[in-house]
Structure 1
């Protein structure tokens, strides 16, 4: 498959190229960046030296489509809606990693304070929750926080057992993007944890959309994110208050049944750790039932740049192309 990446200069674009360079069926044919036109990709992504021997180009969507079978759009929100229509019209497969198509149009406009110029429907690309991915031409790749949060509680939501859920997520600084900021400045971040957008983070809309799709009666969903002094990873703690008391064995049976045939979900005994998933497309999930209470604590661990972004995008690409979803992605995390 010939692959194009529109917007390849950031962390997500670099991670797409790292993973695609190891994919047996993928050939990267075009990578765009207006600001870096004519520059070697390896000058920006030094880890790709001798791996990706291409230059950034400034191409129109039609020009990218003419070279490629599949295109990833790794651009800021508000930008993808300007390029996706031409790609789809050209008849190629598209995986959009921006936020532009993840939400229903009215919810997007309210959440992002933008007028949507291309209000089309797209399947939300968490493959474990959306088997219809395999029949699509166009996929909206999910946000990183919603991936970890939704997967942590989906089995219980699908069973209609959740009364209320509170998510506490902690992300590595790479989730803030490649551009430096006061938050990512070393003296502000080192030996520190920063909570932000305590009740108003945009990704809550995606979490609500996914969980209420599984259980339309679920109304109470809370989410607070934090940044931690780590490069990669999202650890999500979900405090799940259920409608009836369940045993550890009950919950284990529900999760094992729900994720029985999902290769990238690892259900573990104990507490998931970021160090076990960094660099991989796995989502590790562990849980504990609080005895004599209606609370279950579920924890998920993902790499925000892989399962939370580029790896999941390639998982979607595989399914859309009729390949096993593990193709090019079946590798362990970085340890230690």
Structure 2
């Protein structure tokens, strides 16, 4: 069975990634595309790499019909999805790629995003979209909130360890490097080539990065107690990819075995042999996650290295993985593409 798809915010990087992946998906068909400033244009004008596809013309959201749409991917800016999704027909399933529905507690949302949530009733029904840990809830959901790409990388590194007590919960440091596409496609001075190339820098420092809200929520849920990690993200002059280097206090081989056991049957998560270190290039353009564990020279300490593609498994690929579950399709459909290399 083929399901009809609408993509809202199709002129951004995650929108284009959704189109790229759905193009080879046997169960999804793109019927509607929206863009605000680029309404009236063809996708081939906005993204020439998609010119081989027959796609709908970009329209404003208010000009779209959802009468025959089965599922809608919202790749809209943060704080925009709340109002838009509130107006969608209730029979349309929704996967939201923004941050608008990730935090279950409205007070936490206001703390991290600086304004009250405008759709608290919708927020209550949203399911957190970390597929490997919320499959059953996602299958029955009408609204799924995709994770942050940084958040997904850190959560894959640690949830099995936090939930089993394999590490010291009060001594966790996550050092993360993210490609510039994670900052979106909008024109920003700090993302100009001359500003970003040949250097990289930390941002959201001192416990101010919004993805800490997701870490607090999910790690504390897994542990059954409050867990607060130390987290510093860095913007690097590459297009795609995230590398999380996570420092923990715990016996390294036990950490490795816990992760191997947790992900043994997961189609997209691979724990490398003990001591092996993954690279972002090895997952580029794919829905795969590679995790490595290394023993440190200090007794009882381990370092976990986790890589994923921020636009695929960190966003659009994860969204399609969730949509597959919501629509009763095989979870891996359309997502077993090999990584691009070199």
What TM-score, normalized by structure 2, do the two folds share? 0.93
| Count of aligned pairs between the two proteins | 330
Segments ≥4 residues shifted beyond 4 Å: none
Q: Alpha carbons of 1:48 and 1:277: their partners in 2 closer, same or farther (altered >3 Å)?
A: same
Using the alignment, how far apart are the partners of 1:335 and 1:165 within structure 2? Answer: 32
Q: Which residue of 2 aligns with 1:18?
A: 20
Q: Given the alignment of the two structures, is residue 167 of structure 1 paired with residue 160 of structure 2, yes or no?
A: no
Q: Alpha carbons of 1:301 and 1:64: their partners in 2 closer, same or farther (altered >3 Å)?
A: farther
The two structures, once aligned, show a CA RMSD in angstroms of: 1.5
Q: Which residue of 1 aligns with 2:130?
A: 126
Check the 8 A contact 1:22/1:328 in 2, yes or no: yes
Q: Which residue of 2 aligns with 1:322?
A: 328
Does the residue aligned with 2:174 lie in a helix, a strand or coil? strand
- 1:222: Cα distance to partner? 1.1
Q: Which residue of 2 aligns with 1:114?
A: 115
Q: Which residue of 1 aligns with 2:45?
A: 43
Q: Given the alignment of the two structures, is residue 252 of structure 1 paired with residue 256 of structure 2, yes or no?
A: yes
Q: Given the alignment of the two structures, is residue 332 of structure 1 paired with residue 334 of structure 2, yes or no?
A: no
Q: Which residue of 2 aligns with 1:195?
A: 202
Check the 8 A contact 2:9/2:74 in 1, yes or no: yes
> Relative to structure 2, which stretch is displaced further, 105-114 or 154-163?
154-163
- 1:66: Cα distance to partner? 1.3
Using the alignment, how far apart are the partners of 1:64 and 1:124 within structure 2? Answer: 27
Deviations 1:277-312 (A, max 9, x none): 010000111112325523221111000000111000
- 1:37: Cα distance to partner? 1.6
Q: Which runs of no fewer than 5 residues in structure 1 stay unpaired?
A: none
Check the 8 A contact 1:17/1:52 in 2, yes or no: no
- 1:215: Cα distance to partner? 0.5
Deviations 1:220-258 (A, max 9, x none): 31111101111000000111124xxx251x223211221
Q: Structure 2 residue aligned with 1:267, among 259, 265, 271?
A: 271
Using the alignment, how far apart are the partners of 1:263 and 1:28 within structure 2? Answer: 25
What are the equivalent positions in structure 2 for 1:49-128 lying under 5 Å apart? Answer: 49-60=51-62, 63-87=64-88, 89-103=89-103, 104-119=105-120, 120-121=123-124, 122-128=126-132
Using the alignment, how far apart are the partners of 2:233 and 2:298 within structure 1? Answer: 29
Does the residue aligned with 1:304 lie in a helix, a strand or coil? coil
Check the 8 A contact 2:293/2:302 in 1, yes or no: yes
Q: Which residue of 2 aligns with 1:181?
A: 188
Using the alignment, how far apart are the partners of 1:81 and 1:58 within structure 2? Answer: 17
Check the 8 A contact 2:178/2:241 in 1, yes or no: yes
What TM-score, normalized by structure 1, do the two folds share? 0.94
Q: Which residue of 1 aligns with 2:239?
A: 231
Q: Structure 1 residue aligned with 2:152, among 147, 153, 157?
A: 147
Deviations 1:101-155 (A, max 9, x none): 0002111111111121111221110111212212211100000000001001111
Q: Alpha carbons of 1:52 and 1:296: their partners in 2 closer, same or farther (altered >3 Å)?
A: farther
Using the alignment, how far apart are the partners of 1:294 and 1:188 within structure 2? Answer: 41
Using the alignment, how far apart are the partners of 2:211 and 2:298 within structure 1? Answer: 32
Does the residue aligned with 1:297 lie in a helix, a strand or coil? strand
Check the 8 A contact 1:289/1:295 in 2, yes or no: yes
Check the 8 A contact 1:234/1:301 in 2, yes or no: yes
> Relative to structure 2, which stretch is displaced further, 157-166 or 25-34?
157-166
Q: Which residue of 1 aligns with 2:301?
A: 295
Using the alignment, how far apart are the partners of 1:145 and 1:213 within structure 2? Answer: 18
